Amino acid sequence: MFIVLLLLLLFPFLAGACTGSVEPGPTRNVLNAVVALAANNVWAVGGMSTSKHFGLQVLIEHWDGQHWQTVMPDMEGELCAISADSANDIWAVGGGGYYNCSLGSQQPVLHWDGQRWQSLSVGISLDKGVLLSVLALSPRNVWAVGTSGRQALIEHWDGSSWKSVTQPYEGLASSLQAIAGRAANDLWAVGSAVEAGRSSLCRESCKISDSSAILTFQV
């Protein structure tokens, strides 16, 4: 009874907190990731269906403390992840643009420099791939992970271009889903890998060499 009463008392305040949410609009939209830099500086990314593109079009939303503003680069694809080193150094990455961050011929890689979003995919050439996570440590040290051609993918930005980093799961169908790190020399990436001929993936109590992929690397 107490919980019900408490919810009834709080509902007007909770409902009011949602009045600034992003309007769904007339088309099907999806937001996959968000980064909050300040109370008046929040970015959310995803994809939006339009009549111009067969799949999704890149969708970026910005919260200025009072309103959401839609930023829509004229680019096919769907953004799956976003990371910020500072308010003037923000990265967003993604995939083909058919919902759920699926594989595709398009892999948007966008950078915010404090003034505008621009494509910075120099050096990335994926075979029906998708970038699922990104970690911005500094303007010259950005990591992105995902999958390409049924192989785990690790990409590194050195300030001028992206370069592929060798991953330890050669010969396995593998994918890296997320990356995180507290320092430039202590990074972690997690995902899954499976040997040819196996029909399922073990998620918890299994050998790393068989399925659950937990990768740590130092630079």
Domains of the chain, by residue range, sit at: 79-196+207-217
H or E element: which one contains 17?
helix 2-17
Residue 91 exposure: Cα atoms within 13 Å on the Cβ side = 26
In the predicted structure, residue 91 carries a pLDDT above the cut 80: yes
Instruction: Report residue 46 CA to chain centroid gap.
Output: 9
Instruction: Report residue 202 CA to chain centroid gap.
Output: 24
Q: Of 110, 189, 102, 107, whose CA–CA distance to 154 is shortest?
A: 189
Stronger pLDDT, 155 or 214, i.e. the higher one:
155
pLDDT band at 1 (very low <50, low <70, confident <90, very high): very low
Tens-digit pLDDT profile for residues 156-191: 999 999 988 877 666 667 888 899 988 888 888 888
State pTM to two decimals. Answer: 0.79
- Which residues make beta-bridge pairs with 6? none
Taking the C-alpha atoms of residue 219 and residue 216, their distance in angstroms, rounded to an integer, is: 10
Looking up tokens 């997320």 gives 178
Average pLDDT for 37-63? 88
In the predicted structure, residue 132 carries a pLDDT above the cut 80: yes
Tokens of 60: 């970026």
Average pLDDT for 137-152? 89
Tokens of 12: 């007007």
Taking the C-alpha atoms of residue 41 and residue 113, their distance in angstroms, rounded to an integer, is: 14
- Does the domain spanning 79-196+207-217 belong to CATH 2.120.10.30? yes
Integer CA distances (angstroms), 108 to 59, 84, 122, in order:
11, 16, 11
